[in-house]
Structure 1
């Protein structure tokens, strides 16, 4: 099918394509436990996600007893990454309808990209463990292009365009990091209501909002 309006569709990872909340919460609670902090209920980890793992850790420390100096966060951060990498796909899974949605886009000749603020090697490992790597022509992490290039900057989405075929592109995300990056890159952004939304849906700045992946292709066709 060649009349689909987008040649490329990119996806955020955490809270958009995959429900990673349980495994992220496990890593966060392990790490703050090293500071004697009480664990955070899984649902309360949700608003901490979106800006990358280090920012997630810093926010978790803030809400469990107060911020720590950047030097101490620098010491704790590798411990979080080590724990998360060792437990990366215990609870994580595609959101409902995700596999069928990816199949439907691919059947329309759409190139699929994964653009996340997660470190690239962790994104690659996670997708590999879930058997999803081959679905994406490129996997771009928050560190792939160097420092200060992660969303909400547009750099990683512009790189997604550069690596892909010519034609229109759209992005799918769940937070203001995603909508902000898409806006700066000149791309429409569809937000998922079931993700780790950091603002009320009406305030995310998305081009459209969906409640289930069954709605994505019809929504993209209307954009």
Structure 2
């Protein structure tokens, strides 16, 4: 156990630790309904996610007719209000995530989350799912530049007390941030991938969380 190479393992949230597509999709479609736009089909929602909620809305607008004449700020506020009120209706950990977090903790690894989701909403969601106490560090949007900027990952390492860190994510926002922060990255193939998983620029790709610790051990 002493040979595990990382003191800190950080995770993206949406599409990595948690499948949030049901609740995010409901919020997007609520916002679209307010401007008489058709809903985004469930199978298309994952393609909207990544880069924060505003980018998700912008993608949805582009998909359903564009943003000309739309008060995007007001619509974004409506989306956030709806999402915050319905934040954990469908959201759940991906298969194997709970056991994987337990196993990393048993190795003495400090666990962290760095997400482009607003930090207030991240903490509310983690509270609803009883996840907060698992993590030494939770960083969301609002304090540091969004990923793929490396600032939040540097802050993650500092808040966790230093040491060698790796980051796990599902999009180029995550792998780009890890690369900029000069830490290894693992990509999950089951998330909201904005490119084919093996083209995300990660050092390893996994298809299930039972493969994460072995993958990290090889990095």
The TM-score by the shorter chain falls in which range? over 0.9
* Residue matched to 1:208: 204
Counterpart mapping for 1:74-93 below 5 A: 74-93=73-92
Q: How many residues align?
A: 219
Change (3 A) 1:13 1:68: farther
* Residue deviations 1:42-101 (CA, integer Å, cap 9, x gap): 1201011011001100110000011246x7111111110100001000000000000000
Q: 2:183 aligns with which of 162, 182, 187?
A: 187
- RMSD of aligned Cα (Å): 1.0
Counterpart mapping for 1:139-178 below 5 A: 139-145=138-144, 149-178=145-174
The TM-score, its normalising length taken from structure 1, stands at 0.96
* Residue deviations 1:14-62 (CA, integer Å, cap 9, x gap): 0000000000000000001111100011120101101100110011000
- How much does 1:144 deviate? 2.5
- How much does 1:196 deviate? 0.0
Say yes or no: does 1:136 pair with 2:132.
Answer: no
Q: Runs of 4 or more off by more than 3 Å in structure 1? A: none
The 8 Å contact of residues 8 and 165 in structure 1, kept in 2 or not, is answered as no
* Residue matched to 1:15: 15
* Residue matched to 2:99: 100
* Residue matched to 1:25: 25
The TM-score, its normalising length taken from structure 2, stands at 0.98
- How much does 1:202 deviate? 2.2
- How much does 1:4 deviate? 1.0
Distance 2:182 2:68 in 1: 37
- Structure 2 gaps of 5+ residues are none
- How much does 1:200 deviate? 1.1
